[in-house]
């Protein structure tokens, strides 16, 4: 009995006692017209209260039993449903494992049985679509993915799977729209942005690629290794955007993108080469040489020196390049190749003795090219060797690029 019922009972008991003191005479109760019953007023009131309490308790427990019976029936039904769901999920997991192991036909057979008893099982619908995708039936797979998506519009697995079906049928616009929808639902997810980026990269839409890449980077701050990798990728994408501007004859925009690529990733070799080329074509040779020099310092790639050497072939201002070659000779692991390049530079500017001395003191890795240069260094005035020298130089430059 609750506290409220106890308080009400006490109030009525006190009221009965009070009434009994005020009315000490017996109360006459007519059972029939001939039969009467005389009771003291206090007994009558207390008896009435007791009867009321008994009836109240009886009714309370009756209704409570009815509710308990209803709850028991509901609980029993829920347990049966839960047990059935556990059994279905166990079978579904088995189908998933079979699919992962490559047993697609067995997996499909199990999924079909699940869908017969539970046609709205989202996981089974989605897996059925994946199986059809894996067996080159993307149009049929799309039907299952859409059914699953209608049941759970925010299910990321289903969205991804439907996007895969669109990709398999080259419906990239619909794939992009679906991924954008998923990204709006999960704005802090880098994976969706990376997938969209890859689609635009396949389409060579480098402007959108760069925009998405810039949105990805802040989401990867906690993973330094991946952030560093994607930062480097951004430099490469900016370089590709600059190349696109070059094809559109927009040199200023191209130079701007190449510079941004280098600010983003100072080891982006293609950007150094392309920026130097753009300056060279614009008649800004000093800027071109400085760009290639910086590129070699940051990347240690010999192609930057080759660019400078070609640009300075008809110039007398090659001393700085020569110094860079000579200083790098003792530090690089590519000494034999660098020695060949430096020898060509010596020969181009009439320093045959230095070329011969360098070649004689360097073990050859390219014996034929080494021998041709050494022959030219030993007989610098022999004009018959000029064509051979040019061919050897071209081959050496190709090795360095």
| Pair 342, 329: CB distance under 8 Å | yes
In whole angstroms, what is the distance from residue 112 CA to residue 116 CA? 6
Q: How far apart are the first and last CA of the chain?
A: 94
CB–CB of 115/125 below 8 Å? Answer: yes
The rounded distance, in Å, linking the Cα atoms of 103 and 329 is 59
* Residue 121 and residue 88 in contact, taking contact as beta carbons nearer than 8 Å: yes
Given its phi and psi angles, is residue 344 left (phi above 0), alpha (psi -120 to 50 degrees) or beta? alpha
Q: How confident is the model at residue 385 (pLDDT cuts 50, 70, 90)?
A: low
Say if residues 196 and 176 touch (Cβ distance below 8 Å). Answer: yes
Q: Distance between CA 182 and CA 159 in Å, rounded?
A: 7
Which pTM was predicted?
A: 0.70
Asked whether the CA dihedral 275, 279, 281, 285 is positive or negative, the reply is negative
Give tens-digit pLDDT for 127-179. 888 888 888 888 888 888 888 888 888 888 888 888 888 888 888 889 899 88
Does residue 12 contact residue 6 with C-beta atoms inside 8 Å?
Answer: no
In whole angstroms, give the CA distance from residue 311 to residue 295.
Answer: 15
What does the pLDDT read at residue 63?
Answer: 66
pLDDT, tens digit (0-9, with 9 covering 90-100), for 10-49: 666 666 666 655 555 666 655 666 666 666 666 666 666 6
Q: Between 266 and 379, whose confidence is greater?
A: 266
| Residue 234, strand partner residues | none
Which residues, at least 6 apart from 299, have a Cβ–Cβ distance to it below 8 Å? Answer: 267, 269, 272
Res. 1: pLDDT tops 60: no
The Cα 188–Cα 380 span in angstroms is 66
Query: How far apart (Å, rounded) are the C-alpha atoms in residues 18 and 302?
Result: 114
- Per-residue pLDDT tens for 91-117? 888 888 888 888 888 888 888 888 888
Q: Which residues pair with 39 in a beta bridge?
A: 27
pLDDT at 94: 86
Average confidence (pLDDT) over 198-217: 93
For residue 118 the two structure tokens come to 């539970």
Q: Is the pLDDT of residue 236 over 80?
A: yes
């Amino acid at each position: 009995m609750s506290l409220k019922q106890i308080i009400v009972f006490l109030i009525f008991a006190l009221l009965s006692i009070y009434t009994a003191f005020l009315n000490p005479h017996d109360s006459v109760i007519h059972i029939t017209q001939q039969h009467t019953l005389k009771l003291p007023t206090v007994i009558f009131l207390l008896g009435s209260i007791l009867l009321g309490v008994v009836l109240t308790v009886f009714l309370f427990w009756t209704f409570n039993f009815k509710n308990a019976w209803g709850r028991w029936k509901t609980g029993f039904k829920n347990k049966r449903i839960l047990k059935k769901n556990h059994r279905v999920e166990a079978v579904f997991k088995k189908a998933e494992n079979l699919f992962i192991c490559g047993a697609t036909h067995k997996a499909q057979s199990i999924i079909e049985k699940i869908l017969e008893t539970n046609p709205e099982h989202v996981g089974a619908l989605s897996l059925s679509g994946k199986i059809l995708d894996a067996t080159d039936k993307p149009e049929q797979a799309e039907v299952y993915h859409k059914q699953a998506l209608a049941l759970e519009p925010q299910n990321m697995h289903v969205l991804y799977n439907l996007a895969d079906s669109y990709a398999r049928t080259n419906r990239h616009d619909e794939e992009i729209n679906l991924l954008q929808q998923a990204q709006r639902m999960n704005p802090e997810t880098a994976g969706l942005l990376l997938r969209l980026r890859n689609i635009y990269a396949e389409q060579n839409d480098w402007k959108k690629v760069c925009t998405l890449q810039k949105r990805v980077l802040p989401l990867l701050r906690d993973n330094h290794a991946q952030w560093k990798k994607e930062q480097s990728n951004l430099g490469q994408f900016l370089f590709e955007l600059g190349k696109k501007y070059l094809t559109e004859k927009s040199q200023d925009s191209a130079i701007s993108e190449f510079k941004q690529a280098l600010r983003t990733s100072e080891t982006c070799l293609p950007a150094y080469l392309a920026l130097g080329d753009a300056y060279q074509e614009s008649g800004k040779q000093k800027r071109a040489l400085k760009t290639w020099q910086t590129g070699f310092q940051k990347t240690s790639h010999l192609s930057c020196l080759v660019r400078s050497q070609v640009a300075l072939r008809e110039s007398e201002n090659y001393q700085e390049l020569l110094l860079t070659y000579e200083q790098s000779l003792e530090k690089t692991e590519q000494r034999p190749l660098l020695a060949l390049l430096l020898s060509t530079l010596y020969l181009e500017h009439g320093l045959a003795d230095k070329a011969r001395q360098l070649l004689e003191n360097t073990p050859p890795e390219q014996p034929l090219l080494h021998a041709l240069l050494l022959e030219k260094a030993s007989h610098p005035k022999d004009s018959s060797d000029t064509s051979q020298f040019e061919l050897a130089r071209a081959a050496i430059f190709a090795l360095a690029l």
